[in-house]
Structure 1
Amino acid sequence: MTDTKNTTHPELKEGESAPDFHMEASGARTVSLAGLKSKPFVLYFYPKADTPGCTKEACGFSEALEQFEGVGLTVIGVSRDPVKKLDKFAEKYDLTFPLASDEAGVVTEAYGVWVEKSLYGKIHMGIDRTTFLIGADGKIAHIWKKVKVPGHVEAVLDAAKALRT
């Protein structure tokens, strides 16, 4: 049993402006809110690269990438892994969208996904698997918290399509 509690920042809400970010990403790229100005995008946070759930989620987004791009959305994955590990993860699974590194934790804290977790009675800090759909206006259009991987990418894609209509 895993319980989570946000101990760092107030919870973000749909309709609020997305917090600013600038991160190094896989493939010698950088991603930033400013660089995505006037473009809708998906920002999904996952606990750790190359673990079973995170791999399934990343591969799901990868398989649907053409559909996301078809409705004008960029997909960005975020973890606290170093870029070198993200590059290996991307290469291993042929992930072409950016996997951003938030090693310092500034972005995970700003988005409220760095939380206290309890697993079998042990308390530790970690990323709560969460996805944000950000509109072209820079506002949070939809938030999925405590994401369960099966069916998640499809739900995000449906919301992304609705955002574009």
Structure 2
Amino acid sequence: MSNRLDVGTNAPEFALESTDGSKVLLSDLKGQKVVLYFYPAAMTPGCSKQACDFRDSLSSLKGAGYTVVGISPDTVEKLERFKEADSLNFTLLSDPDNAVATAYGAYGEKKNYGRTYMGIIRSTFVLNEDLVITHALYNVKATGHVARLRRDLGLDS
């Protein structure tokens, strides 16, 4: 199990493939406030609900200067289908070996229905313009999380 990140630490750098085929480096986002969220699997009910909540809140988040980026272990092809199926209007990145999720403490031991296994821990990080973590939220719920995040950021709910 990886270590969790604390508020005030620099966000770990990454280079991941986007649905448009480009490589996205975290350092390319310097100068922007970033909402970076990790989710287990595209096109599942909980992940779709969370992604649609981000989609529906994007204008408010963008208006406050935030860029939203979703990361999962799914292939770029599956992420493309997810983006199209739910009309997602923000960047989705593929982390097929969970290396970035591990670096952020968003991959580790999970328990579900009495079963223990390794997987993505639904997590959200808010980064300031210098890519320093201002919010580190682990084990968030798919439903209601974006509304809570907006309240935490002082945006209208």
Length-normalised TM-score, structure 1: 0.88
Gaps of 5+ in 1: 1-6
* Separation of aligned partners in 1, 2:109 and 2:145: 23
Matches within 5 A, 1:75-94: 75-94=68-87
Q: Is the 8 A contact 1:117 1:124 kept in 2?
A: yes
The number of residues matched between the two structures is: 155
Identity of aligned residues (%): 42
Aligned residue runs from structure 1 range 22-37, under 5 A:
22-37=15-30
Q: Larger deviation: 59-68 or 153-162?
A: 153-162
Letter in 1 for 2:60: Q
Query: What is aligned with 1:4?
Result: none
Q: Which residue identity is paired with 2:137?
A: W
Q: Which amino acid aligns with 2:71?
A: V
C-alpha distance after superposition, 1:82-132 (max 9, x if no partner) = 100000000001112011100021101100111112223322210010000
Alignment partner, residue 112 of structure 2: 119
**5+ long unaligned stretches in structure 2:** none
Q: 2:150 aligns with which of 137, 149, 157?
A: 157
| Counterpart Cα distance in 1 of 2:105 and 2:136 | 11
The answer for the alignment partner of 1:70 in structure 2 is 63
Question: What SS does structure 2 have at the residue aligned with 1:95?
Answer: coil
For 2:126, give the aligned amino acid: L
Counterpart CA distance in 2 for 1:126 and 1:10 is: 14
Q: What TM-score does the superposition give when structure 2 sets the normalisation length?
A: 0.92
Task: Kindly provide the amino acid, as one letter, of the partner of residue 24 in structure 1.
Answer: E
Cα deviation for residue 161 of structure 1 reads 4.3
In the other structure, the counterpart of 2:99 is 106
